[in-house]
Amino acid sequence: MTTNKRTTTKYDIELIPGDGIGPEVVDAALPLIRTVADNHGFHFEATHRDWGTENYLDHGEMMPEDGLERLADADAVFLGAVGHPEVPDHVTLHGLLLPIRKGFDQYICKRPNVLFEGIESPLRGYESGDIDFVVYRENTEGEYANVGGREHRGLDHETAVQSALFTRRGTERIVRAAFEAATEREGSLTSITKSNAQAHSMVFWDDVVEDISDEFPDVTVERLLVDAASMDLVRRPHEFDVIVASNLFGDILTDIGAQITGSMGLAPSGNVHPGEEYPSMFEPVHGSAPDIVGEGVANPLATVLSWSMLFADLGETAAANALWDVVTDQLADDSAPRTPDLGGDAGTEAVVNDLRSRL
């Protein structure tokens, strides 16, 4: 077990492959990830957790009651996907994925959207490099707060209340993180809200952006309403650099981001707790994809890129770059195997094997 994620060269990684295609992509990618770690002079212990919906169907819980305690000392967590057609999603997601994001205070959900060379965007005229933005999604509160309830079930006046929660601390820290990212990138930040309709929470968000912008005079700030932003991600995605948005809006916008850059199967993400107190968790943006599960055709590249983000977070920059670069090389090579979501007919294993041969 490591004590400090910055000074060791042996890491403890918790692996939660989860449901559906989660185990397919996580297991297929692991040997490649190990090779890259070895090549860069560090090792990691991967503790597999067979948590997920099978566990729920067998034992009535998605993860053990002390699941978070078991993960807490890890240097990072890697998760595949959660969600199963036989169990309602709110049960599975509130039993596994969401408690980790919240319990470990992983308040930055960082989601890069890059149009790689060799990938055809569904948007006409876009070429590699034309789309390159990152979404900073608030990941612990907002519309995902578990505040509310259902009353008078089954009666005519049945009522459901779901309150969104926007705290000053929670909003300031995600907005500040996004400004910092903009400083390191092109210097442009787009804050996406719905403050025309949601006059409390979203106007508050706008005020926080205004306050924090004083700390970053060199960053250009644009404010968009989420409906117009959805349109603009299709109409002018090349103009975005860093996007900051609430939990729900960030979720929705990153599916658009994934699709305009080629596929859900290419989109990586990190749920980042920037301090030392808790581990961060990395995962592909996609879900358990029940429509293709068991076919061996799930695209493993979102998983590989998420590992790249994990290594970068650990400070293993060279290994992170090696993973990102090998994916970039493969995509740029039109004779390389591709999974069906990218227009090819190769399987998950073939894509990973090809990556290994390119290292």
Q: Which residues bind ligand IPM (CB under 6 A)?
A: 93, 251, 285, 287
Nearer to ligand IPM among residue 201 and residue 330 (C-beta): 201
Closest CA to 119 of 346, 359, 338, 353: 338
Nearer to ligand IPM among residue 266 and residue 285 (C-beta): 285
CB of 41 to ligand NAD, least distance (A): 30
CB of 251 to ligand IPM, least distance (A): 4
Report 64-123 residues binding ligand NAD (CB under 6 A).
Answer: 81-83, 89, 93, 97
Nearer to Mn ion among residue 109 and residue 209 (C-beta): 109
Among residues 262, 270, 287, 347, the one that binds ligand NAD under rule CB under 6 A: 287
Spatial contact of 49 and 16, defined as CB atoms under 8 Å apart: yes
Distance from the Cα of residue 90 to its chain's centroid: 19
Distance from the Cα of residue 47 to its chain's centroid: 21
Among residues 264, 309, 310, 322, the one that binds ligand NAD under rule CB under 6 A: 264
Among residues 75, 286, 337, 346, the one that binds ligand NAD under rule CB under 6 A: 286
Nearer to ligand NAD among residue 224 and residue 327 (C-beta): 327
CB of 287 to ligand IPM, least distance (A): 6
Closest CA to 160 of 171, 148, 172: 148
CB of 144 to ligand NAD, least distance (A): 13
Nearer to Mn ion among residue 206 and residue 255 (C-beta): 255
CB of 138 to ligand NAD, least distance (A): 16
Q: CA-CA distance, 185 to 152, in Å (whole number)?
A: 51
CB of 289 to ligand IPM, least distance (A): 12
Residue 230-259 contact track with Mn ion, rule CB under 5 A, x = bound: ---------------------x--------
User: For the chain, where are the alpha helices, taking DSSP H only?
Assistant: 21-39, 53-59, 67-71, 89-95, 97-103, 168-184, 201-213, 226-235, 247-260, 301-314, 317-332, 348-358
Q: What, of Mn ion, ligand IPM, ligand NAD, none, does residue 81 touch, CB below 5 to 8 Å by kind?
A: ligand NAD
Bridge partners of 272? 108
Distance from the Cα of residue 233 to its chain's centroid: 18
283 makes contact with ligand NAD (CB under 6 A): yes
Residue type, 152: H
Nearer to ligand NAD among residue 205 and residue 324 (C-beta): 324
Q: CA-CA distance, 122 to 130, in Å (whole number)?
A: 13
Q: CA-CA distance, 134 to 253, in Å (whole number)?
A: 11
Q: CA-CA distance, 187 to 207, in Å (whole number)?
A: 20
280 makes contact with ligand NAD (CB under 6 A): no
Query: What's the Rg (C-alpha) of the chain?
Result: 20
Residues with a catalytic annotation lie at: 144, 194, 227, 251, 255
Q: CA-CA distance, 348 to 8, in Å (whole number)?
A: 32
Q: CA-CA distance, 119 to 69, in Å (whole number)?
A: 41
Residue count of the chain, please give it. Answer: 359
268 makes contact with ligand NAD (CB under 6 A): no
Q: What, of ligand NAD, ligand IPM, Mn ion, none, does residue 299 touch, CB below 5 to 8 Å by kind?
A: ligand NAD
Q: CA-CA distance, 294 to 175, in Å (whole number)?
A: 40
Nearer to Mn ion among residue 62 and residue 319 (C-beta): 62
First to last CA, the chain: 29
CB of 244 to ligand IPM, least distance (A): 16
Q: Return residues touching Mn ion (CB under 5 A).
A: 251
Q: Return residues touching ligand NAD (CB under 6 A).
A: 21, 25, 81-83, 89, 93, 97, 264-265, 283, 286-292, 298-299, 302, 339, 341
